[in-house]
Structure 1
Amino acid sequence: MASEQAFLQMKKRVQALPGQLLRVGDVADILAEGKEAFEGIPVARFGKTEGNMAVVELMEVLQVIREKEPALDIHTIGPPQTLVEFKTPEPVPRWFALAGVWALLFVGSGLAIMNFHTDVSMEQVHQRIYYLVTGAYNDRPLILQIPYSLGIGLGMVLFFNHVFKRKLNDEPSPLELEVFLYQENIDQYVIDHEKSQKRRGPRVPFG
């Protein structure tokens, strides 16, 4: 016998296959006695016309639960909708795409650093520092240039807080924060766009 009270929290973002039947347990977390009876209730099945994202509203979940348990006292917390992202097969192998992005970033960042050093005359600065310290002129002060180059790489590691897949500490890097904020803005745009444009077409029947 199910409890007379239930607590429901919509998940922020979930992934699904195109045409997959989404149930209550897929889009929401439920805290209640006998919650298994609610988690299997069908909520929606989106067709191919939905694109690669869709939105499941809290009211839709409450409606299907009420149809089965009209006397259930449901308390809701958290966001009022769940963003559903449809997974599609990747047309390009991940290693190939990763190698292309890595090469692009490596060449681009290298050119950016070299152009910056040219703009600020870094070579002349090293020569001047070497002259001030030693009193002799050297057109290639490697004793300064080599540690400086190594320091740039070490500084990038400390700045982005990553050594390959390992993080130096639990503090998020500036890049991770920017990616997080970007994803938050994208999700909010999709949610607002779905609501305002009402592009949602007829859903595929549950059966």
Structure 2
Amino acid sequence: MTTPVYIRIKQSINTDHLSTIRLGDIARITGSRRYETVLPNMVVHKVKADDQNIVVIDGFMIIEQVLSKFPQVEVELLGPTQCVVHIEKHKKQPSLLLISGIWVLLFIGAAMAIMNFHYDVSMESVQQKLHFMLTGEEKEHPLWIQVPYSLGLGIGMILFFNHWFQKRFNEEPSPMEVEIFNYQQDLDRYVAVKENKVEKQDADH
């Protein structure tokens, strides 16, 4: 009598260079208690020196390995059918000078973008007309409007991105985090198709 085992594969994981990847690292397993303790320790891949930055572990490979050791098990895959393994090789600590240079470039670029936008929409003349409408006086630099507007612009950007350095204001992800998450999801799906050795072997046959 076959024993059902349910495996839910993670979409992606990060691992160190030349590490051993076990089934418990890339999936959650449930079913018979006997297999819940044995299957997580089963080795599914050993990262070799010639492996590049990404390795795709296909669900079909997992089923083959499980059935070769436990023929009486009925494997049910849940969720994604591949796991994208990102291999983190030895990273150098980023240079403080490089980080400072990038920060200055981004700051200047953002400032130029904001100034050019304000110039295109004639923000200065709008504020002058607003000052004239409220006070009846013409003034070249209505600072009582311009200063709060500038402060509000900065505060609005901080609230929009929901970050002040490492501090978050609430649990809601920022638009930048959502875009990065969507990009990572698309990248993992692309890699799962293009770098999947099982799919390549099926295409060759």
Identify whether the pair has TM-score above 0.5, normalized to the shorter chain.
yes
Amino acid at match of 2:152: G
Determine if the alignment matches structure 1 residue 39 to structure 2 residue 40: yes
Residue in 1 that maps onto 2:164: 163
Q: CA deviation at 1:96?
A: 5.2
Residue in 1 that maps onto 2:79: 78
Residue in 1 that maps onto 2:137: 136
Q: CA deviation at 1:97?
A: 5.2
The 1:28/1:96 distance shift into structure 2, 3 A limit, reads farther
8 A contact 1:17–1:87 mirrored in 2: yes
How many residue pairs match? The answer is 197
Q: Which runs of 4+ in 1 moved over 6 A?
A: none
- Output the CA distance in 1 between the equivalents of 2:37 and 2:99: 41
Amino acid at match of 1:109: A
Residue in 1 that maps onto 2:182: 181
TM-score by length of 2: 0.86
Residue in 2 that maps onto 1:116: 117
Residue in 1 that maps onto 2:21: 22
Determine if the alignment matches structure 1 residue 65 to structure 2 residue 66: yes
Residue in 1 that maps onto 2:152: 151
The 1:58/1:95 distance shift into structure 2, 3 A limit, reads farther
Residue in 2 that maps onto 1:56: 57
Q: CA deviation at 1:75?
A: 2.0
Q: Secondary structure at the match of 1:48?
A: coil
Q: Secondary structure at the match of 1:51?
A: coil
Residue in 2 that maps onto 1:192: 193
When structure 1 is superposed on structure 2, of 29-38 and 106-115 the one drifting more is: 29-38
Structure 2 regions of 5+ residues with no counterpart?
A: none
When structure 1 is superposed on structure 2, of 97-106 and 114-123 the one drifting more is: 97-106
The 1:72/1:95 distance shift into structure 2, 3 A limit, reads farther
Q: CA deviation at 1:70?
A: 0.7
Amino acid at match of 1:23: R
Amino acid at match of 2:188: D
TM-superposition CA deviations, 1:137-196 (whole Å, max 9, x none): 211111010000011011112211222222222222221221111111111111111138
The alignment-based identity, stated in percent, is 35
Residue in 2 that maps onto 1:102: 103
The 1:100/1:136 distance shift into structure 2, 3 A limit, reads same
TM-superposition CA deviations, 1:44-93 (whole Å, max 9, x none): 12333332011001111111111221101222211101000001222342
When structure 1 is superposed on structure 2, of 29-38 and 137-146 the one drifting more is: 29-38
- Output the CA distance in 1 between the equivalents of 2:61 and 2:79: 15
Structure 1 regions of 5+ residues with no counterpart?
A: 200-207
The root-mean-square deviation of aligned C-alpha atoms, in Å, is 2.2
- Output the CA distance in 1 between the equivalents of 2:30 and 2:99: 41
- Output the CA distance in 1 between the equivalents of 2:200 and 2:74: 30
